[in-house]
Every structure is written in C-alpha cells, then in structure tokens.
C-alpha cells in the first residue's frame, strides 16, 4: 500500500495511472463517436482539469478546439446567493458544441451554475465531461454526460487535483486516510 503525506494529512493510493489512462481513453472514444462530423470546443475549468484535458485531447480523433476558463465565486444579493463568474472566455461560444472539461463534480453546484451562465451565450449544445463524479454528494440535478470514474464520498488528490495547493503533479490518485 502506497501512502504519502501532504501538509497535515496522509493519503493512500487508490487509482493507478494505468487505470486512469484506460478510463480517459473510454471517455474519448465516446466523444469521438458522439461528435463525429462536428468540431467541438473543449472548455477546461482551471486549475484541476489540466492533466485530464491533455490526455483526453490526445485520444480525440476528430477536429476539436480547446480553451480554458477560471471560475470565481462571490456573494451576490440575498436573492441571487452565490454567483459564479466565468473568467477568461475569450471566444464566442454561440452556435458551438461545447464540452466542459472538469476535474470533479461533488455537490454539482459549480457545474449547475456554469451551465446556466454558458447557456446565456446560446451554444448549439453543452455537455459536461468530468474526470470524477461523487454521486452520493450531488445536491442539484446536473447531467454529467461523460465521467471517467464514479467514486465514493472521500477527498482525493493527484492527477491535477490538489490539497491546499499541493499534489496536482501526482500521476496516480490518492484517497485521504481516515
């Protein structure tokens, strides 16, 4: 069993790099099939998506483009609650087939808001590809069309995901040790 320490916590290796590569390939194959004849725009949500995006794109055989955004949350009025702002979207997505590429969908609140914001720009279609999905944690209904892994309610790091800034460089995925 491979155990590492990041800041104050110990983590146990749960998903080796080879297994990640196989599942990312499976997601890419599904996108190749579903978007045949189209030219999707893959829209990555930084920072967590960068490794997933890189490996996903290397497995895409169709014409595709890539762009990245960051999200920032701030407290709006009482009626709007938390507002998610999508920062850095430089091109028009009107009429485009957009695939949002995310590291992990947990409560689903971030993706729910992002879908709302992007839909205002009238894309031809909007889909989510998330590396990880925690079904037990979902608090809003959000359609994750492509997910590489469904995982239990545990905090993970590695392959782009961090714990307080560290761990993104790990090629494997680790679960926090209870």
- Give the residue with the Cβ less far from ligand 5GP, 87 or 124: 87
Closest distance of CB 130 from ligand 5GP, Å: 9
- Give the residue with the Cβ less far from ligand 5GP, 2 or 107: 107
- Give the residue with the Cβ less far from ligand 5GP, 73 or 122: 73
Q: Beta strands of 18-81 (E only): which ranges?
A: 41-45, 65-75
Q: Assess 104 for contact with ligand 5GP (CB under 6 A).
A: yes
Whether the Cβ atoms of residue 132 and residue 156 lie closer than 8 Å to each other? yes
Residue 117 has a CB neighbour count (10 Å cut-off) of 15
SS3 state of residue 69: strand
**Catalytic residue from among 55, 97, 103, 106:** 106
Residue 63 has a CB neighbour count (10 Å cut-off) of 10
Active site residue 106: yes
Among the listed residues 2, 54, 73, 107, the single contact to ligand 5GP using CB under 6 A: 107
Q: Assess 19 for contact with ligand 5GP (CB under 6 A).
A: no
Spatial neighbors of 107 by CB under 8 A, at least 6 apart, are 137, 138, 139, 140
Whether the Cβ atoms of residue 64 and residue 42 lie closer than 8 Å to each other? yes
Stretch that binds ligand 5GP, among 12-20, 24-32, 53-61, 102-110 (CB under 6 A): 102-110
In angstroms, how far is CA 142 from the centroid of its own chain? 13
- Give the residue with the Cβ less far from ligand 5GP, 14 or 110: 110
Site residues for ligand 5GP per CB under 6 A: 48, 102-110, 155-157, 161-163
């Amino acid at each position: 069993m491979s155990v590492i320490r990041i800041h104050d916590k110990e983590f146990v290796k749960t998903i080796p790099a080879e297994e990640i590569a196989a599942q990312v390939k499976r997601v890419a194959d599904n996108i190749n099939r579903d978007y045949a004849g189209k030219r999707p725009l893959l829209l990555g949500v930084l920072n967590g998506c960068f490794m997933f995006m890189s490996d996903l794109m290397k497995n895409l055989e169709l014409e595709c483009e890539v762009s990245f955004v960051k999200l920032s949350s701030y407290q709006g009025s009482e009626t709007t609650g938390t507002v998610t702002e999508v920062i850095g979207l430089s091109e028009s997505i009107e009429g485009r087939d957009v695939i949002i590429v995310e590291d992990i969908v947990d409560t689903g609140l971030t993706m729910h808001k992002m879908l709302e914001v992007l839909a205002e720009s009238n894309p031809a279609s909007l889909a989510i590809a998330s590396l990880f999905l925690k079904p037990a944690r979902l608090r809003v209904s959000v359609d994750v069309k492509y997910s590489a892994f469904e995982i239990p309610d545990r905090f993970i790091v590695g392959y782009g995901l961090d714990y307080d800034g560290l761990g993104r460089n790990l090629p494997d995925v680790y679960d926090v040790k209870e």
